[in-house]
């Protein structure tokens, strides 16, 4: 029976599940006998641990790696860069600096995702482990920044001031550092605190599961609740709420695609693509709609009344 924090089912059934890179290295060092032909040899292995379906590494059996997701990540980087630029232009908008930080963190996850899920670097290599650990840390910090944007929108503290930005950045750095260290410890067994898994085939880590799965889900729910309160109760408007609903819907659909359809797409394409490119597209679309929601409740210039809920 799968226990809370076990990654074995996820790494077997979900193609391009990023954090499996960490457990692959753990098993390669500590229990290589657990790995089957689906994960061997490391030089050509795709993502996952004994996966049902996976995309081979670039250059093996004519594989282009996870080419569809590579392309979508690259296009998403351009789109998010434009969002950062237009956000920065809205000088008088409440939460401008905080939203810009959120968008910048999301931008950083895209090249990291391109490398960690692209089938470019050899499985089990220290380079792939290090980049995956940084990716995990960035994701944890990203979702803190989303929650912080919701808190800033309440104007409990004034946005863009040290009272807002110092805890904002300090907590983001703490999430990044903690998650990155835990990820490295899981893969490289620096200490015995976070690894290895017992039994090895369970590839288990409660801390990593909480930081990369539970924490993002909690922040999305709390953020949505905060913005619903601000838009409906404080601003007494309805139209902006539809943007938040659409953004949340796109995010949920991205996760459903990633965990439920990715294997189906992988098998249907004979291991050429999986559902990760659809999930990335939907996630980026959710971020774009989130920007539109923020834009709809803020003002652009100092000549107009800014949004300050009381």
pLDDT band, residue 114 (cuts 50/70/90): very high
What is the distance between the alpha carbons of residues 102 and 119, in angstroms, rounded to a whole number? 27
Residues 180, 133: contact at Cβ < 8 Å? yes
Report the pLDDT averaged over residues 201-217: 94
Q: What is the pLDDT of residue 301?
A: 53
Q: To 10 degrees, what angle do helices 96-117 and 162-188 make?
A: 10
Mapping DSSP to helix (H, G, I), strand (E, B) and coil, where does residue 113 land?
helix
What is the distance between the alpha carbons of residues 128 and 65, in angstroms, rounded to a whole number? 15
Q: What is the pLDDT of residue 300?
A: 61
| pTM tops 0.75, yes or no | yes
**How many other CB atoms are found less than 10 A from the CB of residue 283?**
23
Q: What is the pLDDT of residue 298?
A: 86
- Across the strands, what pairs with 6? 204
Any idea which residue has 């995010």 for tokens? 251
Residues 295, 287: contact at Cβ < 8 Å? no
Element (H, E) at 122: none
pLDDT > 90 fraction of the chain, expressed in percent and rounded? 82
pLDDT of 294 strictly over 90:
yes
What is the distance between the alpha carbons of residues 244 and 265, in angstroms, rounded to a whole number? 29
What is the distance between the alpha carbons of residues 138 and 206, in angstroms, rounded to a whole number? 18
Report the pLDDT averaged over residues 70-82: 98
Radius of gyration of the chain (CA): 20
pLDDT band, residue 193 (cuts 50/70/90): confident
3-state secondary structure 46-104: CCCCCCCCCCCCCCCCCCCCCHHHHHHHHHHHHHHHHHHHHHHHCCCCCCHHHHHHHHH
- CA distances in angstroms from 33 to 37, 58, 78, 85, 87, listed in the order given: 11, 25, 43, 50, 51
In the predicted model, what is the mean pLDDT of the chain?
Answer: 92
Report the pLDDT averaged over residues 7-14: 94
Residues 223, 146: contact at Cβ < 8 Å? yes
**Exposed, middle or buried: residue 192 (CB in 10 Å: 0-12, 13-18, 19+)?**
exposed
The tens digit of pLDDT for each residue in 235-261 reads 999 999 999 999 999 999 999 999 999
Report the chain's terminal Cα–Cα distance, integer Å.
51
- Across the strands, what pairs with 204? 6
């Amino acid at each position: 029976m799968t226990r809370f924090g076990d990654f074995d089912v996820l790494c077997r059934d979900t193609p391009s599940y990023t954090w499996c890179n960490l457990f692959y290295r753990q098993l390669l060092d500590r229990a290589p006998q657990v790995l089957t032909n689906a994960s061997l040899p490391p030089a050509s292995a795709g993502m996952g641990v004994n996966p049902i379906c996976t995309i081979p590494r670039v250059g093996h059996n004519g594989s282009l790696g996870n080419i569809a997701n590579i392309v979508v990540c690259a296009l998403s980087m351009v789109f998010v860069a434009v969002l950062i630029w237009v956000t920065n232009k809205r000088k008088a908008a409440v939460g401008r600096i905080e939203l810009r930080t959120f968008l910048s963190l999301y931008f950083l996850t895209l090249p990291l995702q391109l490398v960690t899920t692209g089938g470019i670097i050899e499985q089990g290599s220290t380079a792939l482990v290090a980049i995956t650990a940084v990716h995990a840390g960035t994701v944890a910090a990203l979702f803190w920044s989303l929650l912080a944007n919701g808190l800033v929108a309440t104007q409990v503290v004034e946005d863009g001031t040290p009272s807002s930005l110092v805890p904002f950045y300090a907590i983001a750095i703490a999430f990044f550092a903690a998650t990155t260290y835990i990820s490295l410890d899981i893969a490289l067994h620096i200490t015995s605190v976070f690894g290895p898994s017992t039994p090895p085939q369970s590839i288990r880590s409660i801390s990593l599961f909480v930081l990369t799965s539970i924490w993002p889900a909690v922040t999305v729910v709390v953020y949505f609740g905060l913005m619903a309160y601000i838009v409906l109760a404080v601003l007494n408007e309805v139209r902006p709420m539809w943007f938040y609903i659409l953004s949340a819907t796109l995010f949920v659909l991205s996760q459903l695609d990633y965990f439920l359809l990715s294997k189906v797409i992988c098998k249907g394409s004979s291991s050429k693509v999986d559902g990760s490119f659809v999930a990335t597209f939907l996630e980026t679309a959710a971020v774009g709609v989130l920007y539109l929601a923020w834009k709809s409740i803020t003002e652009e210039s100092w000549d107009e009344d800014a949004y300050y809920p009381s």
